[in-house]
Structure 1
Amino acid sequence: MSEDQLEAPASDNYPQLDAKNTDRKLSQYYSNSFSRYSDFKPLGKGGSALLRSCLDGNLGRTIVMKTLHPHLAQNEYMRARFLREARVTAQLQHPATVPVYEIGHDIEGRLYFTMKKVEGETLREILERQCSGDEQAIATYNLDRMLGLLIQVCNALSYAHAHGVVHRDVKPENIQIGSFGEVMLLDWGVAKVWSSNDPDLPEIEHEILTDVGQRPGTPLYMSPEQIRGGGEEIDERTDIYGIGVVLYEMLTLKEPHRGENINETFEMILKEDTIPPETRTPKRQVPKQLSAITMKALEKDPANRYQTMAELIYALRDFRSRVFQSHTED
């Protein structure tokens, strides 16, 4: 089957996530018992939330709890974002998304949700080890395996797109590699969710999250349309650009564009030609076909990129089968 014959899974065949379900306020009638959680241990701290492992006494298993920081507990925008992340993650039930178990308020009234604890490391940590010359990281995560991992991420995104969701923050920090080969695409907090735009929906939070004049995402991994702030331009091709940036970094151990500051980086992404991976780091001997795939995903005009994640997946699989003689399903 040629690339131009490929079709993404028809979205009409899948239930679409709707903002009326992801963006509404948490009902005052929900019930849970926070007291069953104990043995809290810090895992990480981001700009908006705290990650801790804890023991669920009812089920006798260790899980992860994500909680809004105290200073954001009453911030309407951050609460809405937090609720969307929990619900989008819970409703996208794919092997490469983290199962969410519960959502609620802790004893201090802060929003939290619990999810599966995945042991392993992020793709960012793997790339940093490779940059430092770690021979084990270089040998374990060779090009064939890295492409296999990336295809699994692409599959998760294709699944999300079929359900009306665009991730908008694809980057190595949000890709977790488990100790037993699991791949998880994390942090759906800035995802774009389809909305029915029903004016009669009660307590709808969608207006809070429409991102008018905002640019959700991480600067080094933003697409040109994200930088422009055009909400209507954001579609699955935005995630295709994000995958292109991650693939570029896998191949060169460098980002396609990095300025001295955010504004310079944005200018480079919008206007500066991207140096092909094979030219950027000639010593790494990047295959020309794979370099071409990367460059197509990174086209500044979305119309010139792969139009669906299915097309990009096909291109990556075709390259692997030709170069590594591997026909294993990812």
Structure 2
Amino acid sequence: MSTPPASLPRHTHSVEVDGRDLVELAGAAPEVFAHTIGFHERYEVLGTIGQGGMGEVKLCRDRTVGREVAMKVIRDRDRDSPRRWRFIREARIQGQLEHPAVVPVYDFGVDPDGNLYFTMKRVRGVSLAEVVDALANGDPTTERRWGRRRLLNSFSQICLAVDFIHTRGVIHRDLKPSNLMLGEFGEIYILDWGLVKIVAARAGERQELLDASNASTTGHGSVLGTPGYMSPEQLRGEVKAVGPRSDVYSLGAILFEVLAREPLHPRGATKEKLLSVLRTDGGRPGSRRKARMVPAALDDLVEKATRLDPKDRHPSAGALREELEAYLDAD
């Protein structure tokens, strides 16, 4: 925890710890403050946002500053577990990527039960997956709120954010509609940084990201990502080939789904989906039944982004965005 300020404003409902409120504790030495404010004194669990086999995301109230936060917890106490080290990497990388589309990390530590956790900003909104599903089902409210142009503007901002992380030497590797959050007031957030790959930062960047998580590098033949959105090179386990253009492929698959209102690759049986990823050399959303008059310029853009060979795709997420913006400017 960072050193507290010399004083804190007194509120009507101040938090008391051992008979002293935080205003009094703020004047104490940092080590006294740190040892006095215990985990349960600081965090009040309000509910569960989501959960999986290895952990969960809780909604908590951080009493020290009086705000709600999201707390991600991993239930794995094996110090040598790859999942544990990936969790540490996720917290550190997400915490260093300072961008409006990256949810800021506030705190990182070990809870009283020995589980690693980190807290971050609680974001509000809907996932792009929810929006696309509602559009596919013809929901009139979603049709009114999330027209094509608004979605394309949001997607443009996502591309810009992905281009930023690439300049910092980070490949997300798990971009998909459920990992993209759209806020009511134009906010966009990229979620779930657990599968990132660290590469060399783009030339001209002054600051390299610090990993220091002891997470092992992904071995050749390892497959990380989500079938249907991961690039063909990821699916083939070609770790050295995974780079910015791999995320470009994922962005293309996402944009295909936004425009066609159905995924680029078939739902359901994983075998069919994987074969489709390996055989489909560029997808055109306008060819799908649910698509509504997709302009040729957007068809061409998506097709290029989802080519099998990375060299045939846009060279960067920024280049993909520039092509999209040129269409929006001309529309």
* Structure 1 gaps, min length 5: 1-29, 324-330
Partner residue, 2:19: none
Task: Kindly state the Cα deviation for residue 125 of structure 1 after the two structures are TM-superposed.
Answer: 0.9
- Give the alignment partner of residue 52 of structure 1, picking from 43, 53, 58: 58
> Which range moves more in the overlay, 108-117 or 208-217?
208-217
- Contact 1:259/1:268, CA 8 A, preserved across alignment: no
Partner residue, 1:245: 253
Q: Deviations over 1:186-235 (max 9, x none)?
A: 11100101379xxxx997624x2324331111011011100110111000
- Partner amino acid for 1:60? G
CA spacing shift, 1:259–1:182, aligned 2, 3 Å:
closer
* Structure 2 gaps, min length 5: 1-33, 202-209
Task: Kindly state the Cα deviation for residue 91 of structure 1 after the two structures are TM-superposed.
Answer: 0.6
CA distance in 1, matches of 2:140, 2:290: 20
Task: Kindly state the Cα deviation for residue 97 of structure 1 after the two structures are TM-superposed.
Answer: 0.5
Matched, 1:233 2:237: no
Task: Kindly state the Cα deviation for residue 47 of structure 1 after the two structures are TM-superposed.
Answer: 3.8
- Per the alignment, in what secondary structure is the counterpart of residue 307 of structure 1? coil
Partner residue, 1:255: 263
CA distance in 1, matches of 2:269, 2:130: 23
- Give the alignment partner of residue 155 of structure 1, picking from 151, 156, 160: 160
- Give the alignment partner of residue 205 of structure 1, picking from 197, 207, 214: 214
RCO higher in 1 or 2 (8 Å CA, sep ≥ 6)?
1
Partner residue, 2:74: 68
> Which range moves more in the overlay, 179-188 or 91-100?
179-188
CA distance in 2, matches of 1:239, 1:107: 38
TM-score (norm 2): 0.82
RMSD: 2.2
- Give the alignment partner of residue 144 of structure 1, picking from 149, 153, 166: 149
CA distance in 2, matches of 1:103, 1:236: 28
Partner residue, 1:176: 181
TM-score (norm 1): 0.82
- Per the alignment, in what secondary structure is the counterpart of residue 181 of structure 2? strand
Task: Kindly state the Cα deviation for residue 39 of structure 1 after the two structures are TM-superposed.
Answer: 3.3
- Contact 2:175/2:229, CA 8 A, preserved across alignment: yes
CA distance in 2, matches of 1:282, 1:262: 22
CA distance in 2, matches of 1:259, 1:283: 17
Partner residue, 2:28: none
- Contact 2:85/2:213, CA 8 A, preserved across alignment: no
5 Å-filtered alignment, 1:260-275, equals 260-275=268-283
Task: Kindly state the Cα deviation for residue 259 of structure 1 after the two structures are TM-superposed.
Answer: 5.9
- Per the alignment, in what secondary structure is the counterpart of residue 228 of structure 2? helix
Higher helix share goes to which structure? 1
CA distance in 2, matches of 1:40, 1:211: 40
CA distance in 2, matches of 1:203, 1:137: 43
CA distance in 2, matches of 1:160, 1:77: 23
CA spacing shift, 1:282–1:119, aligned 2, 3 Å:
closer
CA distance in 1, matches of 2:99, 2:195: 18
CA distance in 1, matches of 2:187, 2:315: 27
Q: Tell which structure's C-alpha radius of gyration is larger.
A: 2
- Partner amino acid for 1:68? I
CA spacing shift, 1:257–1:283, aligned 2, 3 Å:
closer
